[in-house]
Chain A
Amino acid sequence: MSDNRTEMLNQIRAIEFMAVELNLYLDTHPNDQRALNEYNYYTRQLMGAKNEYERRYGPLSNFGGSFSRYPWQWIEEPWPWQQDIIPD
Chain B
Amino acid sequence: MWFYEKKTQYPVKIKKTDPRMAKYILSQYGGPDGELAASLRYLSQRYAMPTPEAIATLNDIGTEELAHFEMIGSMVYQLTKDASIEQIKATDNGVYYTDHDKGIYPSTGTGVPFNAAYIQSKGDPMADIHEDMAAEQKARATYEHLLDLADDPDVMEPLKFLREREIVHFQRFGEVMDKLQEYLNSKKYF
Give A contacts to B, CB under 8 Å. 6, 9-10, 12-13, 16-17, 20-21, 23-25, 27-30, 59-63, 65, 79-81, 83-84
Residue of A21, A30, A80 touching B12 (CB-CB under 8 A) = A80
Mostly, the B contact residues are helix
With a CB–CB cut-off of 8 A, which chain A residues contact B175?
A: 28-29
Contact mask for chain B residues 1-28; partner A; CB cutoff 8 A; 1 contact, 0 none: 1011111111111110000000000000
CA distance A18 to B179 in the complex (A): 24
Contact check, B12 vs A61: say whether CB atoms are below 8 A apart. Answer: no
Contact check, B11 vs A13: say whether CB atoms are below 8 A apart. Answer: yes
CA distance A33 to B119 in the complex (A): 36
Q: How many whole Å from A64's CB to the nearest CB in chain B?
A: 8
B53 close to A (CB within 8 Å):
yes
Chain B residue at smallest Cβ distance from A86 = B13
CA distance A24 to B53 in the complex (A): 10
Residue of A29, A61, A84 touching B5 (CB-CB under 8 A) = A61
CA distance A68 to B126 in the complex (A): 46
With a CB–CB cut-off of 8 A, which chain B residues contact A21?
A: 168
Given A63-B1, A81-B12, output 11 extra A-B contacts at Cβ < 8 Å: A10-B11, A17-B9, A21-B168, A27-B53, A27-B56, A28-B53, A30-B52, A60-B5, A81-B77, A83-B12, A83-B13
B87 close to A (CB within 8 Å):
no
Residue of B1, B7, B74 touching A13 (CB-CB under 8 A) = B7
With a CB–CB cut-off of 8 A, which chain A residues contact B73?
A: 81
